[in-house]
A and B are shown apart, each in its own frame.
Chain A
Amino acid sequence: MNPVPDIYRILPEIILTLTGVLVMLLDASLPLRWARRPLGWVAAFGTTFALWASLWQISLPMGTGFSGTVETSAFTVFFHVLICGLVLVALLLSLDTLPEDSHHQGEFYALIVFGAVGMCLLTGAVELLLVFIALEISSIATYVLVGYRKNTARGPEAAIKYFLLGSFATAFLLYGIALIFGATGTTEIYEIARLAPTAPNHSLILAGLGLMLVGILFKVSAAPFHVWTPDVYEGAPSPVVALISTAPKAAAFALLLRVVYEMLPTLRQVWSPLLWVVAVLSMTVGNLAALRQTNVKRMLAYSSIAHAGYLLAAFAGLGNDGVMAACFYIAAYAAMNVGVFAVVTLASGYDEKLPQIDNFRGLIYRSPLLGSLLIFFLASLVGIPFTGGFFGKLTTFSTAISGGAIWLVIIGLLNSGLAAAYYLRLALAAAQRPSGENVAAFAPRVGIAVGAALLLAVAATLVLGIVPGDVLRAAEAGAHTLQAPPAESGEPGNAVELPTQP
């Protein structure tokens, strides 16, 4: 039997759930006039604890728990740590930037933490049903968070849009799961991997894969499933955007890696060209559209679409290398993107009275710290060496070239040259001398919590850019566990069997 208690396999998730419940209950029981800010600290503390627990999980032998539905391996630990870190940064960011009198602050923190449960679970799930439920948890939490600024016109609009399109995408995913279940008779990823090459209904698997890809690519906002991104990012509160542009995407990419590299590696000749096309589309569409934006958050939304494209380039890489590069790029992208949104949050405020690029003019004169950080993160997004963005691109494109996708890399790097134009526009606006009326604009203040959040993001971006060795090794270890079959754990779990299969 399995020597590791099942509960250890989902320890971070349990800690996060308990934290969420605690925050919720405290919120309900605290007197009305008390500030809700300490709840954010509770949530942040719980998340840190979960992060620690995920790190501890690396000492467990790799394997599955709960009858083969959830896995712990270097791969899951990598993503758990990443997601917990991102959630932590988002919480710290919200702590200082949510207005003191804002509504439902307690629920806000609880929702973030519960969303993290879903995301963590998504990366660990090796059972498609669990995948689906985890995805729904993280999605619903984010739908609500997006609509948190109810008194603006754009907030609810964004929430509705995200909710409708998101549900639609999840439906595609579910349909795909159903078709694959129909073809193989199981929803376990390892079982599918074993049965798929010899399954009689090959076209059913293909259709299932295609539908699943639609659902997942929507979540990572890759073109042509990206249309929701700019509206949602514009309407959602900036701390939420810092979260949803990174953590759920990281989780969705983990799922994508699992689906293509672990579940259906034999269909490489099918998904590889598909993802090639999607990668090129995402980069090009994202960058071209971003060039025309004047609103900072919309611009960054298109930039995140483009980055999804760069990331998908890693899927042209073969085996371990591809997974490793993708993992690393996700981490690098998440670090710099959460950072840039943190700065944008501070610079334009929760209510975003100053959302345009022109409003950022002279930021470095108003607040040298924020201005410099903005330029730093933008430089990382451009892919300037000695930042995380550079090594992300380097590993990604280098594996893609080894995988033979030289045109993808040429298109990608030309795109990143194009992208420099709009990042630079913002960076240079921040570096420019402020014009007369803008000098009087408010000078953002940086509190302890936000300071810690920024510090984490900067440190991560720099570490990934200067000494990426450890993270690369972790990503490689993750890649190995993703490829290898899991250690035998108890009875083979194939209780759900399709009756029609002879």
Chain B
Amino acid sequence: MNEINNSILTLILLLPLAGALLVLLVPDRAKLPNWIALFTTLATFGLTLHLPAHFDKTQTGFHFVVNLQWIEKPAIFYHLGVDGLSLWLVVLVGLLAPIGVVASWNIIRERRKVFFALFLVQQTAMLGVFLSLDLILYYGFWELSLVPMAILIAMYGRKDGPRAALKFFLFTFIPSAPLLVAILWLYAKTGSFDFATLQLWIASGALPAGALWWVALTFLFAFSVKVPVFPLHGWLADTFSEAPVALAMVVAGKLGLYSMLRFHIGLFPAQARIVAPVLVGLAVVGILYGACLALVQRDFWRLMAFAALSHLSLITLGIYGLSLTGWEGAVYQILNHGVVDGALFLLLGLLYDRYRTSEINTYGGLAAKLPRTATFFVFASLAMIGLPMLGGFVGEFMILLGTFTGVSKGWAIVATLGVILGAAYMLWLVQRLFFGPESKLATSKPPDDLHVGQLAILWPLAALMLVMGLAPMLWLSTIQTGVHPPPRPRQAVTTQYPVFLQGGCAAAMYEAPQLVATPELAAKCESMEEGQR
């Protein structure tokens, strides 16, 4: 068992890559690439389930750690680990991968090898982002995730793929250039790319504060574009309307949001606190702006894009509310958003593939023809708008609660308004697509409802949404270990910064200034400060 625990993360990381190689090697015949991709992603998902099964909830910090030297100079380590923060996100990536394969099953008709190989590489890159604890390794996967995405958008774009791909790539690549500068600067000052070591250094106050401020800002900027946060969302709508379904469901959100929690707030708690009010404001603007624009979209991909902007802004609000409840809610909402979006995109992808249009007005009255599609779509929409008993409710409620108690009542009320708008556009979308008078489009094709394969994906997803709404503690109990401070604070470290923890994010900055860390960390920190003097 121990051996599996030691190598499980490496296995999870490399399995999709091996699948990609296999896809490249076999002939492109009889959907062989599809099957290989499906098996690989299912196997990866199975492996990711090992993590929550053997996760020790009583321990904070990182589990299943692998730490090997990769390169001596510059000192880069192959350092992987999960904690409560990233655990379920890894599982989410694992879950969405087979959904993506099923969603692309019939849609991708040519160059299947290229598609599925790149799709699997993309999986590795995303898993790598969540698992890496070495900043260069992390940066590597972060950048790597852009390439398959850009190529696939260019190759399989619906109308103007290359332009959208270029826009997507430049929007996300250029901000990561300063990110690399910042990482290299940290290395030049500390000689380490290691997450925990850097946390210690930054918290020790040994680094020049002015430069550190810029470094933190650079991190934040790169992540904000990727999320995206309100004024930086220029790439989102084009990417959503061009990207293949399987990629559109993963392109936005979780990578950036996780990075904000782990690498911005986690590394730079003091700087994050200064900048948090700005982000709270932007997030609230984003919620309303996204919701309003979603209301007036005529194209359902673009509608989904602005809906995503609205939802992701809500999560950003939860993160930069800097409250424990908000963080838990944010992580939970990332999970929920991933699941719901997966289902919605799968269904919309099928509709688009059948009717070759994303104009909402041309649809209508499909419910009679495609009852199962309509049912699942309505269900997922309800989960998305936060109906109690379904997953969306818990996350949104926790975020809003955190904002209400932790930040300000005004922001929370405005954000709630955005949530109500969200209900409006989603329900209106459902109404226009599935109900009303039967459109020409609906009668133009013979009814062809969901098949067994799609149902096999959608039923579990629907069940998952329900369970996530009914029994959130199944997830929250683990998420808390990554967000909360350890139960008993033991030793003070420094008076300058409120808190930092090994693993998880620096917590409880709005709570009493408890100064906590494990003893060995404190000792290490002190010796480091000695060294500085």
Contacts and interface: CB of A to CB of B under 8 A. Distances in A.
**Direct A–B contact in the complex, CB atoms closer than 8 angstroms:** yes
Contact of A414 (B141, B161, B178): B178
Contacts of B184: 394, 397-398, 401, 409
Nearest to B113: A368
Given A401-B185, A469-B72, 6 more contacts: A372-B114, A397-B181, A424-B166, A427-B154, A431-B155, A432-B161
A385 B143 contact: yes
Interface string B353-364: 000000000000
A433 B155 contact: yes
Given A364-B155, A398-B187, A432-B161, A417 B177 contact: yes
Interface string B83-122: 0000000000000000000000000000101100000000
A394 B143 CA distance: 13
B188 A402 contact: yes
B170 interface: yes
A323 B391 CA distance: 56
A364 B72 contact: no
B18 to A, nearest CB: 15
Contacts of A390: 140, 143
Interface string A366-388: 00100010010001001011100
Given A368-B114, A398-B184, A385 B139 contact: yes
Interface in A398-439: 398, 401-402, 406, 409-410, 413-414, 416-418, 420-421, 424-425, 427-429, 431-433
A432 B166 contact: no
A174 B70 CA distance: 44
A431 B154 contact: yes
Contacts of A413: 177-178, 180-181
B169 interface: yes
Nearest to A385: B140
Contacts of B367: none
Contact of B166 (A410, A425, A433): A425
Given A364-B111, A364-B155, A428-B162, A417 B173 contact: yes
A398 B188 contact: yes
A468 B72 CA distance: 10
Interface string B159-191: 001100110011001101110110011011000
Given A424-B166, A428-B162, A410 B181 contact: yes
A365 B112 CA distance: 12
A393 B184 CA distance: 11
A96 B177 CA distance: 39
Chain B contact residues: helix, strand, loop or mixed: helix
A372 B113 CA distance: 12
B320 to A, nearest CB: 26
A interface residue count range (under 10 / 10 to 19 / 20 to 34 / 35 or more): 35 or more
B interface residue count range (under 10 / 10 to 19 / 20 to 34 / 35 or more): 35 or more
Contacts of B73: 324, 472, 476
Contact of A421 (B166, B181, B188): B166
A305 B141 CA distance: 28
B71 interface: yes
Nearest to A361: B162
A406 B188 CA distance: 10
Contacts of A54: none
A428 B146 CA distance: 13
Given A384-B143, A394-B74, A414-B177, A432 B155 contact: yes
Contacts of A324: 73
Interface of A: 324, 364-365, 368, 372, 375, 379, 382, 384-386, 390, 393-395, 397-398, 401-402, 406, 409-410, 413-414, 416-418, 420-421, 424-425, 427-429, 431-433, 468-469, 472-473, 476
B521 interface: no
Nearest to A371: B114
B165 A428 contact: yes
Contacts of B136: 394
Contact of A406 (B111, B166, B185): B185
A384 B165 contact: no
A395 B141 CA distance: 18
> Which of A365, A416, A424, A468 is the most central at the interface, judged by chain B CB atoms within 10 Å of its CB?
A424
Contacts of B154: 427-428, 431-432
A473 B140 contact: no
Interface of B: 70-74, 111, 113-114, 136, 139-141, 143-144, 146-147, 150-151, 154-155, 161-162, 165-166, 169-170, 173-174, 176-178, 180-181, 184-185, 187-188
A324 B73 CA distance: 10
Contacts of A431: 151, 154-155, 162
Given A417-B177, A424-B150, A398 B74 contact: yes
A90 B87 CA distance: 49
Given A364-B114, A385-B143, A395-B74, A420 B173 contact: yes
Contacts of A414: 174, 177-178
Contacts of A406: 181, 185
A468 B185 CA distance: 21
Contacts of B146: 384
Nearest to B179: A413
A364 B151 CA distance: 11
B147 A384 contact: yes
Contacts of A428: 150-151, 154, 161-162, 165-166
A385 B144 contact: yes
B226 to A, nearest CB: 14
> Which of A409, A425, A431 is the most central at the interface, judged by chain B CB atoms within 10 Å of its CB?
A431
Contacts of A386: 140, 144
A469 B71 contact: yes
Contacts of B114: 364, 368, 372
B180 A472 contact: no
A420 B143 CA distance: 12
Contacts of B74: 394-395, 398
Given A406-B185, A409-B181, A420 B155 contact: no
18 contacts: A368-B113, A385-B143, A390-B143, A394-B180, A397-B181, A398-B187, A401-B185, A401-B188, A413-B180, A414-B174, A420-B169, A421-B166, A424-B165, A424-B170, A428-B161, A428-B162, A468-B71, A472-B72
